[in-house]
Amino acid sequence: MNPPASTSASEAASAFLDALRELLGDAHVLTPDGHDLSAYERDWRKRYVGRALAVARPADTAQVAAVVALAREHGIALVPQGGNTGLVGGGVPDGSGAQLLLSLQRLNRVRHIDAANLTMTVGAGCVLQNVQLAARDAGLLFPLSLAAEGSCTIGGNLATNAGGTQVLRYGNARELCLGLEVVTADGQIWDGLSGLRKDNTGYDLRDLFIGSEGTLGVITAATLKLHPQPRARMTALAACESLGHAVALLGHAQSRCGAALTGFEVMNALSLALVAKHFPQLAQPLGPQPWTVLLELSDSESEAHAREQFEGLLEQAMELDVIVDAAVAESLAQSQAMWHLRESIPLAQSEEGLNIKHDIALPVSRIPAFVARCDALLAEHFPGSRLVDFGHLGDGNLHYNVQAPEGVSAADFLREHEHAVNALVYDQVMAHGGSISAEHGIGQLKREELAQRKSTVALRLMRQIKQALDPQGLLNPNRVI
């Protein structure tokens, strides 16, 4: 029940914190008066800075359930957080100082690996890279791969339905999860940690919680889908004169390599120019070109077979004038260096200054037309603005980012033009049959855009689900919807 109306807000908060300390121990309830909470209160982009009532650090699912039940009893809103690497402000508290930050980082145990079933069950606080390593140690592959994999956590990956660089072959986080354990808004535990690939017993609750960004329940563990380790990986960079040529190369690669094609990333000239500017120590094997593609092939037969496939593909593409140059990695170190170029683009952008980010999805066939039209409109309405365009062309996901003109204050450009730039870009996204969020989620950054651009029927259904599962609105309030 809620505290009596006569109880002051400060007294109610104090009573809640006392009960929380009794539950978790003093060491795992961090409050502003005794700790620096900035690492929890500021998002990765440093765009949103909140103020937490406290940070709770439960050790296991039972403690998470007890914290959620306690928060419900006292009417305290809570914000679940994993590695705090999100890009839409969905995992930090607001500025009220009244929300509890619920950190899942201590739920970091690999519970079980079932090699015969090709599954592993892990806590939500497991860092993605550690999950990858645990799978590798078992002779298997967990293919989800992101630039932030050294610090992001599985719970956050699933809460946002993260994508990454291998969606083309293995799918989003949703496709890599067979079951979940979730603490509901009333503090109950749903154990859905099934390793089954077929289970048609009613509504798919797993898919309801994946991508819900902590607004419907708190993910505490997951059963993940594993794959055999490939016998060989081949990586290459290929230069294209146009984005249309890059799409044509994708078609050739899919036709020739099929499911063996695991990565197909595209980077425009400015993306790599910023990397060269801010990270000159990173070698770039190809000279400047309008578009550069990073391809990766995973082969189940042998390295010789993979190389034959890869070199045949690139030779064919060269003969057809689809590409103008290419470089094939001759070692693991060279392959990693090629991926490092791609993964350094967001860091180079950050060094260059604040920018207007767009994580969008489009039908692959319509991407060249979208980019041509949107580039032209931005040049017309915002002269000198610089377009940093890169992303996962293989699955239709572009990071279409707008940087301030040379010599213009990035902060001033954002303050004066962000709303208008977003409106222009998102209008074109919708006109070309796309989505305003591909893999980053909605959070608070795109909440108003979602309300304007999602159908009224979809929004009504989403609100009804939220009301049914979290009637008090205490789970990550004012996020998504």
What pLDDT is stored for residue 309 in this prediction? 82
Q: Are 366 and 433 in contact (CB under 8 A)?
A: yes
| pLDDT > 90 fraction of the chain, expressed in percent and rounded | 87
Mean pLDDT across 294-302: 85
Q: What is the pLDDT of residues 139-162, one digit of tens each?
A: 999 999 988 899 999 999 999 999
Report whether pLDDT(46) > 90: no
Using the predicted structure, report yes or no on whether residue 95 has a pLDDT greater than 50.
Answer: yes
Distances (CA, A) of 338 to 15, 293, 351: 54, 10, 20
| Per-residue confidence (pLDDT) for residue 7, from 0 to 100 | 55
Q: What would the pLDDT profile of 176-231 be if each residue is shown by its tens digit?
A: 999 999 999 999 999 999 999 999 999 999 999 999 999 999 999 999 999 999 88
Chain segment 2-41, per-residue pLDDT in tens: 555 445 778 889 999 999 999 999 999 999 998 999 999 9
- pLDDT, tens only, 418-448: 999 999 999 999 999 999 999 999 999 999 9
In this predicted model, what pLDDT tens digit does every residue of 346-376 receive, in sequence order? 999 989 998 999 999 999 999 999 999 999 9
Confidence of residue 332 (pLDDT cuts 50, 70, 90): confident
pLDDT at position 258 is 87
* Confidence (pLDDT) at 2: 53
Report if pTM > 0.95: no
Radius of gyration, CA atoms only, the chain: 23
pLDDT value, residue 259: 87
Tell me which amino acid residue 360 is: I
Task: For the chain, list the domains and their CATH numbers.
Answer: 9-103 (3.30.43.10), 110-228 (3.30.465.10), 232-346 (3.30.70.2190), 353-445 (3.30.70.2740)
Calculate the average pLDDT of the chain.
94
Describe the strand order of the beta sheet including 52-56 as a list of residue ranges: 29-30, 52-56, 99-103, 78-81
Please report the pLDDT score of residue 6 as a whole number.
Answer: 43
- Name, in order, each residue with C-beta under 8 angstroms of 83's C-beta and a sequence gap of 6 or more: 105, 127, 148, 151, 152, 153, 156
